Amino acid sequence: MTNSILKNAESAGIAAPVDISSGEFFRRARQRLNFDVPQGLTDPNVLAPTGDFGTDAMLQIIAKERPVRPAAVLIPIVEREVPTVLLTKRAEHLNEHPGQISFPGGKIDPADATPMDAALREADEEIGLKRPFIDPIGYLDVYATGFGFRILPTLARVRPGFDLAISRNEVDDAFEVPLAFLMDPVNHKLGSKEFRGMQRSFYEMPFEQRYIWGATAGMLRALYERICLS
C-alpha cells in the first residue's frame, strides 16, 4: 500500500508534520517490534521509566502495594485507503473504567499461550474481530497503570471486510479513528492529576466527540515514539 497515512489530513482538519506512508509505517513496525515478552509484564521490580517524575513515583508505590495484574490489548490498525485505529468504548455498567475509550483486551488468563493470544481472544469476545482478519506484528513496551495492571499491547494489521459483533456485557461501541490523527504529536495533549501530593501527567487525544486519554492515549503515544520517530 503506497498511500500516505496522512492522506486527506488537510480535508479532515488534521495537522500532519509526520509524513510517513502506511507502507513505511508497517515496514518500521515489523523491523522494530517482536514477540519477546518483556520481564516487566509480571515482575513488580521491573518498571520502564515514563519520563514523568510523578508518574514514575506513583508506579513505584503501586508496585509495592498491589499485586501485578498482567493484561494484554490489541492495537488494530485497519488497512483502509486511509488507515484507522479500531477502538472501543467500555460499557457504562463495568466496575473498572466504565465508559472509557480503550483497545480490545483484558487480563491474561492461564489458558492463554501468550499475551498475543490473550489479546486476540479478547478482541473476538468483546467485538467479534476474528483471527483470519488479523496480522499480528509485535509487542510494544509494557504499559503500567495506577491500578496495578501491566498491559502488553500487540500491534496488528487488520484486513478490511470484517463484521463486528459487540458484546454489550463489556463494550458499548466500537469505532475507528484515522491513524494520521493519532500519530500527529499536535494532537497529543497533556493533562495532569494529583497522586498523594505529587502531580502526574497523562496524555489526552480528543477526537470529535470521543475523549481518548489515560492508558489508551499513553500507549498510542508510545506507538508514535516507537514507529514514527526516526
Task: Please report how many Cα atoms fall inside a 13 Å half-sphere around the Cα of residue 27, on the Cβ side.
Answer: 8
Cell triple for residue 17?
A: 508534520
Structural domains in the chain plus CATH codes = 22-228 (3.90.79.10)
Contact status, residue 139 vs residue 34, Cβ threshold 8 Å: yes
pLDDT digits (tens, 9 = 90+) for 139-182: 999 999 888 899 999 999 999 999 999 999 999 999 999 999 99
d(CA 177, CA 33): 22
The pairing of beta strand 171-178 with beta strand 189-195: unpaired
User: Would you write out the chain's pLDDT as a tens digit for each of its 230 residues?
Assistant: 334 444 433 333 333 445 678 899 999 999 999 999 999 999 999 988 887 778 888 888 988 888 999 999 999 999 999 999 999 998 878 767 678 999 999 999 999 999 999 999 999 999 999 999 999 999 999 999 888 899 999 999 999 999 999 999 999 999 999 999 999 999 999 998 887 877 788 999 999 999 999 999 999 999 999 999 87
Taking the C-alpha atoms of residue 69 and residue 57, their distance in angstroms, rounded to an integer, is 18
Q: Helix, strand or coil for residue 101?
A: strand
Strand 189-195, strand 149-158: pairing: unpaired
Report how far residue 230's alpha carbon sits from residue 225's, in angstroms, rounded to the nearest whole number: 9
